[in-house]
Amino acid sequence: MIDKFKAAFREESFELLSQLEDTLLELESQPRNGELINAAFRAMHTVKGSSAMFGFETISKFTHEIETVLDHCRNGTLPITKDFIGLTLKARDHLRRLLEFDEPPPQELAHDGDALLVRYRDYAASGAGLKPPAQAGAETAAGAAPAAPVAAPQGQGHADAGPATYRVFWKPKPGIFRDGTKVLSLVDELASLGDGHLYPHTECLPPLESLDPESCYCYWDAVLTTAKSENDIRDVFIFVEDNSELKIERLEEPPLDDEGRSKRLGEILIERGLVTRDSLREALGSQKKLGEVLVEKKIVTKPEIESALVEQDHLKKVQEKSELGQGSIRVASDKLDALVDLVGELVTLQARLSQTSFEIKDGPLASISEQFERLIAQLRDNTMSIRMLPIGSTFNKFRRVVRDLSLELGKEAELLTEGAETELDKTVIEKLGDPLVHIIRNSLDHGIERPDARQSAGKDRKGNITLAARHSGAYVLIQVTDDGKGLDKEAIYSKAVERGIIAPGQEMSDGDLYLLIFAPGFSTAKVVSSVSGRGVGMDVVKREIDSLGGSVSLSTEPGRGTTVTLKIPLTLAIIEGLLVRIEDEHYVIPLSSVDGCIEIKREELAAYGDRRILSYREELVPFVSLRGAFETPGAEPEIEQIVIANSQDMRVGFVVDQVVGDYQTVIKPLGRMFKDVEGVSGATILGDGTVALILDVNRLAAAVQRDGLRRSAKGVER
């Protein structure tokens, strides 16, 4: 039993330590941010408390000393320097290692811990800064932030109570444009204070003929949930106080009622002073929706109702969010994997059920099967959504990579992130870690210039690497962009020739040339560094991303920087597929890459002769006969069908006997025996128990391009 608790403690501590890392990195850029110091202190304090409870004495003692020093920082008696952050990051790494062992930990770990504590004691004793460690690193060069008392967390009367929700009404006076006030920027600033909804009112706008283009007619209602105080909100409008009307009101969050609503529309309207209780009661007497009645009776306007509904919606979301945290539980990930496997089996079984019911033409059974199908689809979507994690959970790891590596390389760089909330399947996220580290290391090592070089090129001394993620259909696009020197075309070309990857004098497009950096054994670094430049990085990236069913592309601009884009499928377990048939064999084409299907008579197809390019939506599309490509015996039917699929940067047609229809495809990996089979990414089990291969559209398309449809010619011209 105690082992179970220990496992839970470890898991929770890993999470705390990963948050701590994030906090420390942020603290480095804002050393006086009181909330961040508090967060670091709290993390350390929690680890200390629970480690003592579960008998991890070494951890408890270690964290106790650090906690003491952090407490001094919190009170402002010790400064937060770059060195201190570096030391605490090391302490965090040490804790991470300690957690791997039971008590007592191995001797050398205990020794490492003691060495770290000595440095902490020195730091506390000096009161001003750290003594450099024996092996002085680049860190010691960093300056210390002055020892000023840390600012107390902001807020008015609810400092530690968490965020509050405010109702803000702001009406600029008509003449506000004449001062040069940027109204939208102020509204933007207001929105950036927290999570909220703004409702602009445009109903005062006259028709164009009588509009004074230099007068402001719009005003805003906003509901904002923020950790900032009322004064902070007021500060946004401080320069336009005389030129506008501002009302700020703190909203209490009432509990949700039986219907899951936080506050009724009528209550909001009364609070806003838009209706009286009497008119509300009268309106409620009719059977129509309250908002409609009030608008009909001209008690309030439609925008006023809309705006109140926005507030209602916002309050509900805030409420749900705060309840979400309480309602979540921790589940071991292997249980989740088992669940997905079971759902996969169910989907397969369901396919058999619907096929059987179709074959025996039994009415009641068919209706059961249909209901079953709907339920299974819901179960599948639900299970998949449980596996989805925000990609942001891995971002802090990369920030640490950038921080440590830039110190090592003597460069200045910062990692900016966008789209941390983008969700991806757990297994995909796990497999993305290493490729992303490789790409980021490469950007930092080869892309970002040294500070002096950047300065003389007219850039900021500090380079930026942006890691951005966003959804795009059934894919997630992940981009790593640096503002460094860009790729060196000539260097890549000559290196590729030197390595025998291309022939001397071979002509190629810029795009193809840049992609050479993903070729095995390629490296342009003149000096092999410990970081990258062994030429084992980028080809591994390509291989890993390919194995995820994704693709890599690259764009660069000399002197301006480089962007590497990864296109990754959302999930690896179950996909929507298009089932096609050639003779008796079935194949699945991932539906996400299917653009359309067309029918074509055999003789028409033959008429294309050697060209094997057809016109599809005013675009020339190469096509390949899968019968030919897979050397399936038998004769083609009179009318064949062509599935047009999107590959990375082109469309390709696949000629098949018949398009059967869409199919829930549970992906089963092919054994290692088949790992070199080109054009097939996996297999699935059909309703009748037979196996269908899943086609790898990207590989097939590449093969079409590469061997000029040589093999497919056999199929078409037979």
Partner 1 sequence: MPTAKNETPKIINLSGPLTVERAQPLKTELLAALAGKGPLLVSLSLVEDLDLACLQVLYAARKSAAASGKEFHFIGSVPSRIVKRLQAAGFLQGAPERAEDFEAELVDF
Question: What is the contact surface with partner 1 in residues (CB under 8 A)?
Answer: 177, 182-184, 187-188, 191-192, 197-203, 205-209, 211, 213-214, 216-218, 220, 222, 303, 306
| Residues contacting residue 510 through CB under 8 Å, at least 6 positions apart | 489
Q: How far apart are CA 438 and CA 478, in angstroms?
A: 14
Extract the tokens encoding 440.
């980021």
**In terms of CB distance, is 309 or 515 closer to partner 1?**
309
| Exposed e or buried b per residue across 359-389, where buried means at least 16 C-beta atoms within 10 angstroms of its C-beta | eeeeeeebeebeebbeebeebbeebbeebbb
Q: How far apart are CA 421 and CA 108, in angstroms?
A: 40
**In terms of CB distance, is 216 or 589 closer to partner 1?**
216
Residue 246: in which H helix or E strand, if any? strand 244-251
Q: How far apart are CA 318 and CA 224, in angstroms?
A: 10
Q: How far apart are CA 30 and CA 684, in angstroms?
A: 52
Q: Are the CB atoms for 469 and 422 separated by under 8 Å?
A: yes
**In terms of CB distance, is 219 or 663 closer to partner 1?**
219
CB 309 to partner 1: min, Å: 12
**In terms of CB distance, is 210 or 326 closer to partner 1?**
210
**In terms of CB distance, is 279 or 422 closer to partner 1?**
422
CB 26 to partner 1: min, Å: 23
Please count the other Cβ atoms lying within 10 Å of the Cβ belonging to residue 236: 21
CB 326 to partner 1: min, Å: 28
**In terms of CB distance, is 317 or 397 closer to partner 1?**
317
| Residues contacting residue 480 through CB under 8 Å, at least 6 positions apart | 436, 439, 440, 443, 465, 466, 467, 563, 564
**In terms of CB distance, is 120 or 170 closer to partner 1?**
170
CB 254 to partner 1: min, Å: 24
Identify whether 104 is preceded by a cis peptide bond (ω within 30 of 0): yes
**In terms of CB distance, is 58 or 555 closer to partner 1?**
555
Q: Which DSSP letter does residue 718 get?
A: -
Q: How far apart are CA 656 and CA 93, in angstroms?
A: 56
**In terms of CB distance, is 134 or 208 closer to partner 1?**
208
Residue 97: in which H helix or E strand, if any? helix 82-98
CB 304 to partner 1: min, Å: 11
CB 592 to partner 1: min, Å: 20
CB 467 to partner 1: min, Å: 19
CB 220 to partner 1: min, Å: 7
Q: How far apart are CA 696 and CA 314, in angstroms?
A: 44
CB 199 to partner 1: min, Å: 6
**In terms of CB distance, is 155 or 291 closer to partner 1?**
291
**3-class secondary structure, 240:** helix
Q: How far apart are CA 502 and CA 525, in angstroms?
A: 18
CB 335 to partner 1: min, Å: 36
DSSP state letters, 182-239 = -HHHHHHHHHTTSEEEEEEE-TTPPPGGG--TTS---EEEEEEEESS-HHHHHHHTGG
